[in-house]
Structure 1
């Protein structure tokens, strides 16, 4: 595992294990780049995100973020999740139902004094176009508004990377399009590596720079979105992308 880059900006990940969840994945993400992980349920997408965030410890692996080693199983380094500057948005948003929008964001600003936490949280909610909704509980927010609160909370950790696990799965088509635009704006304003897990190829085409196709915990193909979609490297990749037999497949 020692051949992976250990310096420089961006994220470099290499993970391997045979059980209990098979993993054979290597990927890198540059600052300002969005890389999409695509594959069926159980293919390892969310496990990779959890390993990067420090919520799952693989048997073998190395994770380097902006030159800092977060994980190196060979030499026994495993930085705790709380010390990794990761912004992670879960599929369910995982907002605390008993806390208001601003209180949810303030939970991620525990290292600041109360006055600073309030100001920072309000600024983050304003950035996500949630002015006037600070005191609403999640149950009284729409799916799109809950998603924006979740993004604001992820950004409150002042992350070095952003991990998005099926971020648009719970919203309608119109809200999905608007949230895609907002994510694009956010990506330009805050250039950091972003990993997007999604089942929707439309999300991939509209948002991602590169994509990794996974099956059984293994990355089968990585490349620019247009290249992978046009020339899947195998029939398996073509099937996973739900391409027809008329689509080109490289031999």
Structure 2
């Protein structure tokens, strides 16, 4: 009952100007901003996964320098607020005027646009979380299986591809999906550096017509939509990998059984 009254009051609130919301819901600038938000999030997540895979492998190295570097990276970029990191990336020209050496150098202001700074900041931040997620996936595979693979004469790379990764991915997928959903929402922070995302476009519009709340309703609608779609995709992937877990377990049991003979 109370929820019904709240919904009714929200829908009938004339100050929300639903007609304005309808006018801008599919407006070209909003659609461009929505596409930019999706592109930013996908590209940053892809780079973050690559960073996570590389550093997770380095973290398993016997070299203490590599392990220390990984710990320092994770500690720095997990501890640094994303908004601060984005501002640092956007203002990189203040402490790195040029990138490169000698004649093969470029002005940092030319290279680091709002979009570039957004990709760098989001990727570095997300990469720190992906390192821990991927390492947790690797650690979820019983050490005895790697030892059995070693007894069988399998090289480390082959062991990772055929034994560790197929099992670890079932542990990695759910938190990665959660991280991507968080990244989608956190991408709105790039509006402070003019990243061209959904919120940036809405701000440009209501900066000229002063329809602040209706434009924020438009932004909210599209964020809720893409987050819901991403959540459905995550559930689909989780179900797919959980169904494939059975055959993989049988394969591992057979390989370990061979090693014990």
State the TM-score, normalizing by the size of structure 1: 0.22
Judging by fraction of residues, say which structure has more strand: 1
Instruction: Please identify the structure whose Cα radius of gyration is greater.
Output: 2
TM-score when normalising by structure 2 = 0.21
Structure in which a larger fraction of residues adopt helix: 2
